[in-house]
Each structure stands twice: as C-alpha cells, then as structure tokens.
Chain A
Amino acid sequence: MTLHNISSRELREKKTKKDREHGRVKHKSDRFLKRTAAVLSIIFAALMLYPFLFALSCSMKDNSKIYEVPLKLLPAKANSISIVLDYSDLEIRDEAQQKDLMMQDSILTMFSVSYKMPDASVMEIQIYGVRDGKTLFHSRAHQMKLQMERDYGIYASTAIKKEVLLHDDRYVRACESIGYEYSAQGLSYGPEGDYDEAWTRDILNATSEKYETVGKMAGVIQKTNNLLNLESFKYYLQMPAYIYPGSPQVVRLGFFAFVLNSIIVIGFAMIAQVILCSVCAFVISRQLSQRAGRFVLLFFMGGMMIPFASIMLPQLIMYRQMGAYNNYAALLLPFLYPYGFYVYLYKGFFDQIPGSYFEAAALDGAGSLYLYREICMPLSKPIISLIALQTFIGNWNDFFWAWLVTEDQKLWTLNVALYNISNNMGTKQNALMGLSILTITPVMLVSVLFSKQLKQSIAASGIKG
C-alpha cells in the first residue's frame, strides 16, 4: 500500500517535472520566436518608413542642400537674415524717388544674395530701408519665393545681373509679387537684434561688386528659425501656378486644382459604384431567379477580367469618337458601369437579409424602389462603407487612363500632375518631394484614423475574392 502510494507520488512528481520541463521548453522556443518576430518586424517597419522620412527631409531642405553628398537625413538649420540699408545722407528729390530707390535696392539685394550665396542656407531675407533712425521700407522674401520667380516667374530664364534685375518695371512687379511695406512717416516696427559681422562681410562681398545698392548697408542681423523650412510647403503649393501660367484654373488654385480634380474623380467613382452596384445586386439577389441572377452576375464579373492594358487603346479610340477626350466626361465615364466584384460583394450581403422582411413589405404593397430604399439601404451601412473604401483604394492610384485622356492642365488629377511636374526639368527635387508629401499625408492620416474599418474591409474582400 505504502509502496504503491510512494510510487504513485513519485509518478506524479515525475509527471509534473516533465510537464514543467516541457513547459519551459515550449516557453523558451516560443519566447525566442516572439523576440525575433518583434525585432524583425520593427526592422521591416523602419525600412518601410525610410523612403517617407527621406522624402520629408528632402522636402525641407533648401535648393542647394538637396545636392549634398553624402546625404544627411536632418535638414540644415534655416537662417533668417535681415539686411538694413541706410538712406540717411543721400540727396533724394522726393518721396516717389525714395520709394523707387528702396524697391530697386531691395530686389537687387534679395536676388544677389540668393544667387551668389546658394550654400549659406538663407531661407528668409528681410530688407529694411532706414532713414534718420526711422524705418521707412520693409520687404520679406522666402528663399522658395525668390527661386520660383527666378525659375518660372518674372525673372524666368534671365541672367541675374543688375541691368536685368532692374530692367523696365520688372523690379516693381517683383516687389509687388513678393510684398513690401512703405510709409514716409516711418513704420511701427524696425530691425531688431545686433549686427553680425561675419554675415555683414559676406553679404557685402556678394553685393558690392556687381549689385551695388544706392542705400548704404548698415549691417546684417542673423537669426535661426527652423520653422522656415516648413514654410517652404506654402510655396510648393503655389508652384504649379508658376509652372503652368497658361491655365487660369491652375493659376488661381495652384496645387489645389489637381487635388480638386482627384476629389471629383474619386468622389464620383465612390458614389457611382455604391449606388449602381447596390441597385444591381438588389435586383440580382431579390428579384431574379437563381439562374438569371447567376447569368447577370457573370456578365458583370466578365467585364472585370478584361485587363486595362488590353482595353485602354480601343477605349481611347471609342471615347475620342464620342468626343469624350480632354474633358471631365473622359475621366468620369469609366466609372459609370457597375464593377462586377462589388456587385458580388453586395449580393453576398443582400442574400443574408431575411426574406421575411421583403415578403412582409411586399404584402403591404411596397414596390421595388421602396424595398430597395427602405429595407436594403438602411441595413447595408457596413457594406456601403466597404465598397466606398474599396473603390477609393482601387482607384486612388489610377494614372494611365487619366494621363491618356487629359492634355489640359486644369483636368490633371494628382497622379498625372505629379508625373508631369516631375518630368519638368526645371523642378527642384525638394519641391517635388514636398508636393509628394502633401499628397500622401492627408490620405495617410485618414487611413490611420479609420484603420479599423480599413482592415475589416480588406479582410472581408480578401476572403471572398
């Protein structure tokens, strides 16, 4: 009896020991896997994020730093310099001449500094015109603004020389485009801070020879303001207006013209697909016999199997003959038939609605429209958001069709615009990256906000497709 007891106890002990050992082994190999998984996943995530961080840092660099080798991920600090020009001892006839002189000097200094000192990371130049201790003139320009005027604006494809800068009324137009303030009685603010000797010397060197100003340079104040790197984005948004001055829509809205087109196209696609597919699926699911329903569904699904690459050119020929070329009709028409896959997803959903709902309503004399609008639609909120999301993901990336049918800049969608701007030789890399970042950031933010719905929709469509 005791023997038996002992042996059973031993057995039990042995068992638990074995179990524990087993458990530890399991624990160990699992823990190893979990650790490796965590480390590798984080590496993957970091690698995936790298291109975007890279784009972000490029977009905040100035025009010379983007060509720096080896590349630095952090943008350089942004200098803001204020140049004070003194007009105290000058013979000046009248006020008009005084203002004119100050405007000339301002343009001369701004463009010469940005042209002669490209490596100095001067993101902002402020010019103060001072006379007898009073500040009469102030103008401020961001580096991107000056660059745009030089690349596409008033000074497009001209040499940066004194005669060219001041030719005719160019400097007046430039001043007005940049913005300035002038008051004969003196402005309420003035230059603040101490003069920086090194900067004063550099800037005097840059301007004194070929770009001599009338006013005497009293000194240069240097400040560091890294927010100026962010301000570049404001000018990136305006850049399309400078690149394509021939299109009034683009000039008026800048980059938002393309954003608007993308919203129109994607919005139309989402609405059209949600309505068309639900109507078709409702009819297939509720009003047709099974055989007829399968035939119609196959008819819609068949259209989906035709690859875009083989249909694009016959489609282009047909649309051209119809006159749907280079207008919104060409962009929107391809969304005007139900996509087979979405009809299929809808049908799967409608099939699950209990038939008794419809029978009860039909007994009360409800028509098809009533059944669709009052029974199907209120129940199908989840599927509607799924279809809308699918349409968005599927068509947000569309490029080739929109590129084939649009010549006019005012019709370009974001993808087409980005492609065309990137093929424009004059466009600097930082501007391109900035526009890319501006394109994807809202989408990314929204997708992070709605990540739960997104995940559900992807999983749902994947299981069935």
Chain B
Amino acid sequence: MNKKHLSGKHYQLRRKITPWCILFFPMLFTAWLKYYPILSAFVISLFKYDPISPPGKFTGLENYKSMFRMRFYWESWENTFIFLILQICMCFFIPLIQALLLNELVRLQKCLTTLYILPALIPTSVNVIIWKWIWHPDYGVANQILGFFGGAPQAWLSDPELVKFCIIFPGVLGGGLTVLLYLSAIQGVSTDIMESAALDGCTGFKKIIYIILPNIAFMIFIQLVMCVIQTMQLLDGPYMYASGGPSGASTTQGIYIYNAFQQDLNYGRGSAASIVLLVVIAVLTFAQMKLEKAEKN
C-alpha cells in the first residue's frame, strides 16, 4: 500500500518534470542563440566597447546621445522612410489588385496563381543580377525605353536621387505570396453576402468596391503593418544593389548598423542603433498583435 502510494507520487513528479526536461534544450538554445545576443547588444551599447579587452569603458547612454547627434544616423532613418513611402505607393497595392482580378477569373485562375507564386521563390541575388543589367546606363533596357519616349538617359543606380526608386521598382511587377493571401481572404468572404449583393444588383466593379474591399479591409490593414515592419528592416536589397550608396543614399537602418560595426568599428554605436531599431519594430509588432486580437474578439 505504502509502496504503491510512493510510486504514485513518483509518477506524478515524473509527469511534471518530463516535459520541462524535453523543453530544456530548445529553450536553452533559444535563450542562447536569440535572447543572449540582443541582451549583449544592449550591454555593449552602454560601453565604449573595446574588442580587444571587452567590454571597455562604461559610458552609460553616451553612445545613444552621440548617435542621435549624428546627421548620418537621421539620414538613414530618412532613407528608410522614403523606402517605406515608395514601397507603399508603388508596390503595396499591386498584389491586392492582382488578387481582385484573379478572383474574377475561372479557367485561368489556377495557372495564374501558380505563376504569381514564382517571384517569391526568386532569390534577391538573382533579381539583383537581372535588374542591375536592366538599369545599366549604357546597355540597359531602362534607358532604351526612356530614349524611345524621348527622355534623356539616366544613371539610375548611380544616381542618389533615383537609387531608391530603382531598388523598389522591381516589386511593381507584383506577384508573391501576398497575392495568394489576399485571394484566399477574398474567397473566404461569405457566399451569403455575395449572393444577396448580386440579387440587389451589385455586380461588376461595384461588387469589388462595396462588398469585397470592406470585407477584406482588415486583411489589407494587417498586410500594411507587415509591409511597414519588413521595409523598416530592409537590408539585402539596398546592400546588393548599391552597397548603401551612392553617397549613402540607399543606407537603411540595417546598413547603418552594419557600417557602424564593419567600417567604423564602433561596436557601441552599432549596438545602440540595433537596440533603437528593435524597439521600433517591437512597438509595431505589438500594435499589430493587439489589432489582430481586437479583430478576433
């Protein structure tokens, strides 16, 4: 009797401990590979970091203060915002339009959706190779098209005024996974609403404007927030197209951080910029989560 009771207790204990034993390593690795670096970035940002004998001299918030006084830092934010505006004006609505059009098709729909996935599977490096040649000042298609309409040839990626446009422009062709997300959202609009709207004579473009768009407005909004979050972190594209140049015109936050470490070897300032970016993204993500929760209730 006593023995049985003991083994029951033992069993209960084992039942409680086993899950944590299994979770121990994944949680440890997450903490080690993800949380520890960002904490160490925060610590480094408080020091005048010395890579040879870390961590160097403690300076408090001096790194942040000096960074906020730098013109170059604010310029990189400005660049990021211009990228953001361009992205939203030029590219954001294209997948939505494509999805709306796709929804009206019957026979072509399947094969076109497949086609629209493909751009998502093209790595940036390949896109950069193709578009760099299109933007080439001497042999590129862009200048030929411009010449055809009587425009003067441009330097495109070497022009500080145009470089942001050139980096964002490939997105105008649309496609990608967002088309599919929108399409499934549109097809998720209840058929009751659609049918009663059709009975009331709401068809064609009217249907899109008065029925479909209001019904997927939330999805569009979430995608907008996602687009903002992603553009804030823009790094690969501008780096591969123009390495942040010419004269810093395509330096985003990510490239600023990279340069602070790799070129200026100023670990403290780079970490400070990392932390500021983290805070901005965290606030945006948090807002997105709150909104999604509000919508669900």
Q: Which residues of A contact B (CB under 8 A)?
A: 22, 25-26, 29-30, 32-34, 36-38, 40-42, 44-45, 47-52, 54-55, 58, 66-71, 276, 279-280, 283-284, 287-288, 296, 299-300, 302-303, 305-318, 333-334, 336-338, 368, 393, 396-397, 399-400, 414-416, 418-419, 422, 429, 432-433, 436, 439-440, 443-444, 447-448, 451, 454-455, 458-459, 462-463
CA distance A50 to B118 in the complex (A): 13
Q: Is the Cβ of B101 less than 8 Å from the Cβ of A41?
A: yes
B122's partner among A22, A36, A440 (CB-CB below 8 A) is A440
Contact of B117 with A314 in the complex, beta carbons under 8 Å: no
Q: Which residues of A contact B254 (CB under 8 A)?
A: 308-309, 312
Q: Is the CB of B201 within 8 A of A25?
A: yes
- Taking a contact as CB atoms under 8 Å apart, the answer to whether B124 and A315 are in contact is no
CB-CB under 8 A from B138, the residues of chain A are: 67, 69
A261 to chain B, nearest CB (A): 14
Complex contact A440–B108 (CB within 8 A): no
- Counting contact residues on chain B (CB < 8 A from A), the size range is 35 or more
10 tightest CB-CB pairs across the interface, nearest first? A29-B204, A309-B254, A310-B274, A37-B104, A303-B34, A314-B41, A314-B37, A287-B19, A337-B29, A462-B181
Contact B41 A33 (CB under 8 A): no
> Do residues B117 and A396 form an inter-chain contact, with CB atoms below 8 A?
no
Give the number of A-B contacts (CB < 8 Å).
264
Which of the residues B18, B118, B236, B257 comes within 8 Å of A313, measured between beta carbons? B257
The CB with the most chain B CB atoms within 10 A, among A25, A49, A393, A419, is that of: A419
User: Which residues of B approach A to under 8 Å, CB–CB?
Assistant: 15, 18-19, 22-23, 26-27, 29-30, 32-38, 40-41, 44, 97-98, 100-105, 108, 112-134, 138-139, 141, 144, 170, 173-175, 177, 180-181, 184-185, 198, 201, 203-208, 229, 232-233, 235-236, 239-240, 253-254, 257-258, 261, 267, 270-271, 273-275, 277-278, 281-282, 285
Pairwise interchain contact B125-A414, C-beta atoms closer than 8 A: yes
B15 cross-chain contacts in A, Cβ below 8 A: 287
- Bound-state CA distance A25–B203 (Å) is 9
Q: Given A400-B236, A414-B125, are A309 and B277 neighbors across the interface (CB < 8 Å)? A: yes
Bound-complex Cα distance A338 to B33 (A): 11
Closest approach, in angstroms, between the C-beta of B258 and any C-beta of chain A?
7
Contact of B112 among A41, A69, A317, A399 (CB under 8 A): A41
Q: How many Å lie between the Cα of A178 and that of B118 in the bound state?
A: 38
Q: Which of chain A's residues have a CB closer than 8 A to the CB of B274? A: 309-311, 313-314
Contacts of A58 in B (CB 8 A): 133
Nearest neighbor of A286 in chain B, beta-carbon distance: B19
B97: chain A residues at CB < 8 Å are 40
- Of A45, A51, A310, A418, the contact of B41 (CB 8 Å cutoff): A310
Partner of A29, one of B18, B125, B203, B253: B203
Minimum C-beta distance from A120 to chain B (A) = 20
Contacts A34-B105, A462-B184 hold; do A400 and B235 have CB atoms under 8 A apart?
yes
Chain B: which residue is nearest A335 at the CB level? B33
> With A41-B112, A454-B117 as given contacts, are A317 and B267 in contact (CB-CB < 8 Å)?
yes
User: A393 and B114: CB pair below 8 A?
Assistant: no
A41 and B108 form a contact (CB under 8 A): yes
* Residue ID in chain B nearest A460 by CB atoms: B184
Contact of A54 among B101, B117, B134, B170 (CB under 8 A): B134
Closest to A308 in B: B233
- Check B121–A54 contact: CB distance below 8 A: no
**Given known contacts A287-B19, A313-B274, A400-B239, is B123 in contact with A306 (CB within 8 Å)?**
no
Known: A38-B105, A310-B257, A400-B239. A459 touches B144 (CB 8 A): no
Evaluate contact between A317 and B40: CB separation under 8 angstroms.
yes
Are B133 and A433 neighbours in the complex by a CB distance under 8 Å?
Answer: yes
Tell me the complex Cα distance, A310–B174, Å.
28
B208 CB contacts on chain A under 8 angstroms? 33
Contact B285 A310 (CB under 8 A): no
B105 and A71 within 8 A (CB): no
Instruction: Decide: A305 near B117, CB < 8 A? Known: A41-B102, A337-B26, A439-B126.
Output: no
Do A300 and B30 have beta carbons less than 8 Å apart? Answer: yes
16 residue pairs bridging A and B, Cβ less than 8 Å apart: A33-B207, A50-B173, A69-B138, A71-B141, A279-B22, A310-B41, A313-B261, A314-B41, A315-B33, A337-B29, A393-B120, A415-B124, A418-B126, A455-B114, A455-B117, A459-B180
Q: Which of B22, B206, B282 contacts A305 (CB 8 A)?
A: B282
Whether B233 pairs with A439 at a CB distance below 8 angstroms is: no
Q: How far is the CB of A291 from chain B (nearest CB, A)?
A: 13
Which residues of A are found within 8 Å of B34, using beta-carbon distances?
Answer: 303, 306, 311, 337
Residues on B with beta carbons closer than 8 Å to the beta carbon of A55: 126, 129-130
Chain A residue nearest in CB terms to B103:
A37
Q: Is the CB of B133 within 8 A of A280?
A: no
Q: Looking at the complex, which one of A279, A307, A415 makes contact with B281 (CB distance below 8 Å)?
A: A307
The answer to whether A397 and B117 touch across the interface, beta carbons within 8 angstroms, is: no
Check A433–B29 contact: CB distance below 8 A: no
Which chain A residue has the least Cβ–Cβ distance from B23? Answer: A283
Q: A37-B104, A440-B123 are in contact. Are A311 and B38 (CB under 8 A)?
A: yes
B38 near A306 (CB under 8 angstroms)?
yes
* Cα–Cα distance between A303 and B282 once the two chains are bound (Å): 11
Cross-chain contact B184 with A314 (CB below 8 angstroms): no
Bound Cα distance from A426 to B124, whole angstroms: 21
CA distance A440 to B122 in the complex (A): 6
Q: Tell me whether A313 and B184 are in contact in the complex, defined as CB-CB below 8 angstroms, given that A25-B201, A66-B139 are known contacts.
A: no
If the complex has contacts A26-B203, A313-B258, A399-B123, are A51 and B26 also in contact, measured as CB distance less than 8 A? Answer: no
Q: A44-B174, A54-B130, A334-B33 are in contact. Are A310 and B278 (CB under 8 A)?
A: yes
For residue A399, which residue of chain B has the nearest CB?
B236
Chain A residues within an 8 Å CB radius of B41 = 310-311, 313-314
A309 touches B253 (CB 8 A): yes
Contacts of B102 in A (CB 8 A): 37, 41
User: How far, in whole Å, are A368 and B185 apart by their CA atoms in the complex?
Assistant: 38
Name the residue in A45, A67, A307 with the highest tally of chain B Cβ atoms < 10 Å from its Cβ: A307
